[in-house]
A and B are shown apart, each in its own frame.
Chain A
Amino acid sequence: MKALLVCEYREGKLLETSYELVAFAEKLGAEKAMVLIGSEAEAPKVNGTVYLADAGKYGEYNPDVHKKIVLAAIERENPDYVVFVHSSYGWDLAPRVAANLKAAQISEIVDIVDGKFEVGVCNAKLRRTVTPKSGKAVLTIQAGAFSAAAASGTPQLERIEADGASVLEFVGYEPAEKKDVDLTRAEIIVSAGRGVGKKENVPVIAALAKAMGGELGASRPVVDAGWVEHSHQVGTTGQTVSPKLYMACGISGAIQHLAGMKKSDFIVAINKDKDAPIGEVADVLVVADVLQFVPALTAKFQ
């Protein structure tokens, strides 16, 4: 069994998640080759074949061209699986490759169970195992689900080329908004989720944060709705935090939120839904309405 792993590269750097692909291939028990649209200096440190195309020539984000390069590598390698990280790069490119191969795609794999691929359903409240019916299959793995393999080894580089004409024009990157608070240094973070209901209720959570000497955090919908500044957002598209104490108030525990806070030393979740996925990572789950419980707790600190 052979797997072709598609590395990620951004702003001139190989992304560390590329080594999660290696870990996945090892768990799968597959022989591996890798493909990178990047630079020789940033080639992954692995033993084995790495197909390399130059990002200077093909661009870092240019999915219709990257698709052709990955297809060319597939042609040379003839793998059973083509594997991406389920990231903004992977979920964008994987379905294009799958459609061209007319191959099954299985998205955001969290585990391999009896040779079948396990994925989440309904915000991870259920699990599903999926099997491909096509000869080849395209897979994307959940970021963080397979701990990165060590970067050690010497790649054998094989240059790869493709037609570089693109229907899409990449204009450029826009950096993250400036931070007015650095959550990465906070020892206590009390975060507000959509469960707080409305903007007017955010001060209830902020008051607890203040009473405990911590910072206010937030889940994404709270930020998108403009209830809290983006700099307070915790998660894949926000900040990754690791405080001594993290309190999630009315947050369901979606993977993108967990990715930003699950390294916290101690996690308390306050949620009216006893089955909320946040319960899986919480050291203490308080089953309650946040708007009733949080003021009661705040009073204990004052």
Chain B
Amino acid sequence: MATETLTLGKALNLGLRRALEQDPKVIIMGEDVGKLGGVFRITDGLQKDFGENRIIDTPLAESGIIGTAIGLAIRGYRPICEIQFDGFVYPAYDQIVSQVAKMHYRSQGKVKLPIVIRIPFGGGIGAVEHHSESPEAYFSHTAGLKVVSCASPQDAYAMIQQAVTSDDPIVFLEPKRRYYEKGPVEIDAPLADAYPLHATRLVRAGRDATVLAYGPMVRTALDAATAAEEDGRDLEVFDLRSLSPLDLRPVYDSVRRTGRCVVVHEAPGNLGLGAELAARITEECFYSLEAPVLRVTGYDTPYPAARVEEEYLPNLDRVLDGVDRTFGW
């Protein structure tokens, strides 16, 4: 089986290409996705090969992108919408939470909206305001939407294809600061054999504490786990992958063994995903816990100026600090 080393961005590009080849109803729409290949070049070369009717440069209107995708989906198409940056999804927020999320329910299952909403999210790239947001909690809070995030090139390649074949609308969060990180990708493995889209994945086995992360923080959590070895601590790391629905059975098993859990995300802590995870883990694993479930997150402030984002974002040291705190309990 062919394994290639690809960046996460290139893996997404290849995954999109496969999805377009597999089903003529798949279309990509967004700002600058055509000739330019997207501002991050994730759709690079696709318009050249699939034409302007399938790779559509849309007017500069996010509500329009999602709203028309709904109509196209009702008509039998499978739109993949690119939102250029996380901070620009809000003009489309109403269409996503009021319309995309609810049509299946309102129509008692008669209207399916197989729409994928791709959003490069998170910080760490030194951008100006509105370019480094973590909007996952807004979408995860909305019933009817599924929310996933890839963290490795392999997952990026498979998950984007799985998302496109799903009949549910999916918010697909791409860790933009990891676009250029490389990893192995099995490019001709059948999609049916791929790791399930909504399953949490164990990415590092360990005995002493459980660390949960997703998207851009998976790499950070793994680095922290390596660093923690020096302190004689063996961390188990999970990549959640699916933020809604959550798949916590493997996590519960892990926490029952380790007795300690640290949740890491870039988004602000207040009412973030970590709160949900801590609550659920506490409910399920209360008698096994040696310490409360701890969170290491961004602060509850707007995303700050680029030159202090290193202080804002959880980094390896802050994850290790969280680990120290759980052991210090």
Judge: A and B partners, yes or no: no
- B residues neighboring A (CB under 8 Å): none
